[in-house]
Amino acid sequence: MNTLMTFLRITWKSTSGRISLSIFGACLVLAVIGPWIAPYSPSDRLYDDAGKLLRLSPPTWDNLLGTTVLGRDVFSQMLWGARTAMLVGLLTALGTVVIGLNFGLIAGYFGGRIDAILMRITDILLGLPFLPFIIVLLSLTDRNIWTIILAMTFVMWRSTARIVRAEVMSLRQRQFVASARTTGASDVDILYREIAPNVMPLAVTSITFALAWAIITEASIGFLGFGDPNVFSWGSIIYDAYASQMMYRAPWWVVPPGVAIMVLVTSVYFMGRAYEEVINPRLQERM
């Protein structure tokens, strides 16, 4: 919680940080209230006054972003998709950082055999082709959103663990660790009370990367047709448009979800950078 407040305060200092935080915040709000303010149910087939199915209707006041080939409201689907993107992104980022942080802390602090084993595991995961692995996994299990989140988390903590470990290895030589030890602090105390707060900035930066990656990957999975069939996501909207072969006739169907992903992920990247510039004085000096 404290880390979150610090993150917000630091990021808010720069213009790009303020803009990206606002965009991200807006998306978050939409993700929470979206399904309530959506004018239609995303899977409802809409008919016009004459009782004809509204197939591929261009944007109108009733359907802000037009309709799909099945007469569904694109705008409502987009709002539901925002919830999916945020849910997948935030949960995956959280899982990634919790696992990565702990593995990194333990490997870096204890070193020796524990370090060797943990680092071999990350080596193997680093060699794992990310998207193909998730596709294979999804093809063998249930295609639902929780499997997608778990599969992504399972692979993505590898880089966080590496970054944190390297930092911990240099931190554990420092004076404050030695002085904590002389006061009789246990390993756990030193690790989580003395060292962990110092690697938090790194963890926060890796959260933003994980968030960005998770959102894009979830969209890719949806586009390849391996998404959760019961959930509307921006990737699956694009997949539906692509699969119907109507996308070239209905730009209102295929452009908005792509733009949404692009805007959201860009804001995440800039948020991370705005934070890093303040945290890392070396970067700041160069700017």
DSSP string of 88-154, one letter each residue: HHHHHHHHHHHHHHHHHHHHHHH-HHHHHHHHHHHHHHHHS-HHHHHHHHHHHS---HHHHHHHHHH
243 binds other proteins (CB under 8 A): no
Distances (CA, A) of 239 to 88, 90, 128, 247, 258: 18, 23, 25, 10, 11
- In the bound state with other proteins, the residue whose beta carbon lies nearer, of 196 and 234, is 234
224 binds other proteins (CB under 8 A): yes
247 binds other proteins (CB under 8 A): yes
124 binds other proteins (CB under 8 A): yes
Tokens at 279, concatenated: 């945290």
Distance of CA 171 to the CA centre of its chain: 28
Out of 90, 101, 177, 238, the residue judged to bind other proteins by CB under 8 A: 238
Out of 126, 174, 197, 284, the residue judged to bind other proteins by CB under 8 A: 126
141 binds other proteins (CB under 8 A): yes
Cα separation, 3 vs 73, whole angstroms? 40
Cα separation, 280 vs 62, whole angstroms? 49
Q: Nearest approach, Cβ of 133 to other proteins (angstroms)?
A: 7
Q: Nearest approach, Cβ of 51 to other proteins (angstroms)?
A: 33
136 binds other proteins (CB under 8 A): yes
For the purposes of burial, counting CB atoms within 10 Å of the CB of 258, is it exposed (0-12), middle (13-18) or buried (19 or more)?
middle
Out of 27, 46, 261, 271, the residue judged to bind other proteins by CB under 8 A: 261
> Which residue type does 286 have?
R
Out of 53, 98, 135, 169, the residue judged to bind other proteins by CB under 8 A: 135
208 binds other proteins (CB under 8 A): no
- Segment near other proteins (CB under 8 A), from 30-38, 97-105, 165-173, 251-259? 251-259
Whether the Cβ atoms of residue 100 and residue 164 lie closer than 8 Å to each other: yes
137 binds other proteins (CB under 8 A): yes
Instruction: For 71, list phi and psi in degrees, rounded to 5.
Output: 75, 25
Residues at the contact surface with other proteins, assessed by CB under 8 A:
120, 123-124, 126-133, 135-137, 139-142, 212, 216, 219-220, 223-226, 235, 238, 242, 247-248, 251, 254-255, 257-258, 261-266, 268-270, 283, 286-287
